[in-house]
Structure 1
Amino acid sequence: NDHVAKPIDPESLFKSLLEWIPPGERELPESRQESEESAADAADDRLESIQGLDIAAGIQRVAGKRDFYEKLVRKFAEGEEAQAIETIESLLDRDDRKSAERAAHSLKGVAGTLGAGELQKRGQDLENAIREGLDRVQIDTYLQVVGEELDRLVGAVRSAFEASDDELEDEPEESVDLDQEVLARLPELADALEAKVETCRELASVLSINEIETFAAEVGTLARDAGYKPLLAWSDGLAEKASLFDLEGMGESLTGFAQLVDDIRSMGAEAAD
């Protein structure tokens, strides 16, 4: 139903995802789900308290995937839609009413997907006003009404995620104690991972979701076989980012893979000395 041209722009991708949510289920890795559960619950509680945001309806629209829904809400508050009023005003200043109408339509659609019913209604009224050819003074009245609700909602969402992020940062990191048996397997693990470095570089340049999910699963199998939990956490994290279409996060993880392999090799060499 839509097309995102390559090279893929994350903002454009998420904008399309918000308007055309694909059907189907994507399972997140269990270990990652457990480690993020408390932080997700904290964000969920704060989102629940935001007036005008029906998160139950929003989550239902994304096949019940709470993490995916929260990702979309965060992108909405940090992305182009948060600046929709400025965008529409600029388009109207250039007398580009068609583009202004499309921008209003996009905002309305995003609001509907997220369960922001009041913003959706106001966005619809703005879209109608532009389409029906009302004069600029009349349209500015609709812009003000939409802007008030948009600013309120964006501010509340940002506050909710900032508070939950602060809580997550305050949690102590788990220490990882490796027994001698695991340490002894690290050189062999590093060799197996080294063979995947070039593949990883290629994936980082194209960011193919299906291939990245396969790569994450393969690395996860190696991690489980070696009993090396930090690598398993890395592979689970990569799989989660792929399931959430987090292009920036996938790129960062894949770019750091070669260094991760070097660290594993160094750790194995030190243990052997």
Structure 2
Amino acid sequence: MNDFIAKPINPKKLMWTLVKWIQPSLPASPEPAGPAPRAEQLTMAELPGFDLRNLLEMIGHNQELAIRLLLTFSDNCRGLPEEIEALIAVKDWAAAQERVHKLKGAAGTIGAMALHAASEALEAELKQGGVALSLEHFRAVAEQTLAALAALSRPEEVLPDNGGDRDALNLAAAGLDQRLQDNDFIPDALLGTLKPHLSIEQLELFARLRRQISDLHYDQARRTLRQLAELPDIQEIQDDVSDQ
């Protein structure tokens, strides 16, 4: 290992670290850098305890996607602070530390810096044998963080104005399925290419597909995708590969 960068990942630091170790065969002509987008220009409501600059840089300052990611984080964290507190109460230090570590990483990535710091302090105490003096502070910060996220409005869903275009849907779904199979990152814009071809009755399945992809449950997402579109069954594909 030549180097590492710690979470939360900073895109600029990631690029500089890669440039440091990856030497191109020919020097590339530098392109003039355009003005960096200013977070102050965004209309997203202020979130106490958050620093969204790193998150916004990672997703190209896509405000709608940022809100979706923040709300997904909130959904995934629901009940986790109480679970951590219960594990500490029964002195299951290892399990409590594992969950706090997971929460710390997710909070740092999403920009919940107050929760990240509180989780880091609690994790350090658990590593030392479990005297969780910072538990009360951790609980208060977790409550404040989730309350701030609860105030966010979910982006409006634009309903399709047609009965669904099956052929176009199947074509778009086939490309998405290949990326899911390859464990590629699925940008929200790519997922959105399905939507114009859906019928209103398919929107609930589409919402489930979006959640599964956001949570990186790609196997489940591929099965949901098959409920939306006419794609070969995953088991049939696996059987064909085995026969070959």
* TM-score normalised by length of structure 2: 0.53
**Contact kept in structure 2, 1:82 and 1:151, CA below 8 Å:** no
Q: Give the corresponding residue for 1:73.
A: 70
Query: 2:48 is matched by which residue type in structure 1?
Result: Q
Mapped partners of 2:43, 2:52: distance in 1: 10
Query: 2:228 is matched by which residue type in structure 1?
Result: G
Question: For the structure 1 residues 102 and 61, does the alpha-carbon distance in structure 2 shift closer, same or farther, using more than 3 Å as the test?
Answer: farther
Which has the larger helix fraction? Answer: 1
Mapped partners of 1:52, 1:92: distance in 2: 25
**Contact kept in structure 1, 2:160 and 2:196, CA below 8 Å:** no
Question: For the structure 1 residues 208 and 67, does the alpha-carbon distance in structure 2 shift closer, same or farther, using more than 3 Å as the test?
Answer: farther
Question: For the structure 1 residues 252 and 100, does the alpha-carbon distance in structure 2 shift closer, same or farther, using more than 3 Å as the test?
Answer: same
Give the secondary-structure state (helix, strand or coil) at the position aligned to 1:45. Answer: coil
Give the secondary-structure state (helix, strand or coil) at the position aligned to 1:107. Answer: helix
Structure of greater relative contact order (alpha carbons < 8 Å, 6+ residues apart): 1
For the pair 1:255 / 2:221, whether they are aligned, the reply is no
Q: Give the corresponding residue for 2:124.
A: 128
Q: Give the corresponding residue for 1:117.
A: 113
- The size of the alignment, in residue pairs, is 180
**Contact kept in structure 1, 2:169 and 2:229, CA below 8 Å:** no
- Describe how 1:1-273 pairs up with structure 2 within 5 A: 45-46=43-44, 48-61=45-58, 66=63, 68-79=65-76, 81-135=77-131, 139=132, 141-161=133-153, 164-165=154-155, 168=156, 173=159, 175=161, 208=181, 230-231=196-197, 241=210, 244=214, 245=216, 247=218, 251-258=223-230
Question: For the structure 1 residues 212 and 121, does the alpha-carbon distance in structure 2 shift closer, same or farther, using more than 3 Å as the test?
Answer: closer
Question: How much does 1:100 deviate?
Answer: 1.1
Gap regions ≥5 residues in structure 1: 1-17, 25-43, 178-185, 224-228, 259-273
Q: Give the corresponding residue for 1:261.
A: none
Task: Tell me the percent identity.
Answer: 19
Gap regions ≥5 residues in structure 2: 1-6, 16-41, 231-244
Query: 2:49 is matched by which residue type in structure 1?
Result: G
**Contact kept in structure 1, 2:67 and 2:152, CA below 8 Å:** no
Mapped partners of 2:182, 2:10: distance in 1: 16
**Contact kept in structure 2, 1:21 and 1:62, CA below 8 Å:** no
Question: How much does 1:113 deviate?
Answer: 1.0
Question: How much does 1:211 deviate?
Answer: 8.9
1:155-197 Cα offsets, whole Å, 9 max, x none, are 2212203xx44xx26x7x56459xxxxxxxx9xx85x988x8x
* TM-score normalised by length of structure 1: 0.48
Query: 2:115 is matched by which residue type in structure 1?
Result: L
Give the secondary-structure state (helix, strand or coil) at the position aligned to 1:160. Answer: coil
Mapped partners of 2:51, 2:185: distance in 1: 33
Question: How much does 1:134 deviate?
Answer: 4.6
User: Mean alpha-carbon deviation: is it higher for 147-156 or for 244-253?
Assistant: 244-253
Mapped partners of 1:83, 1:53: distance in 2: 20
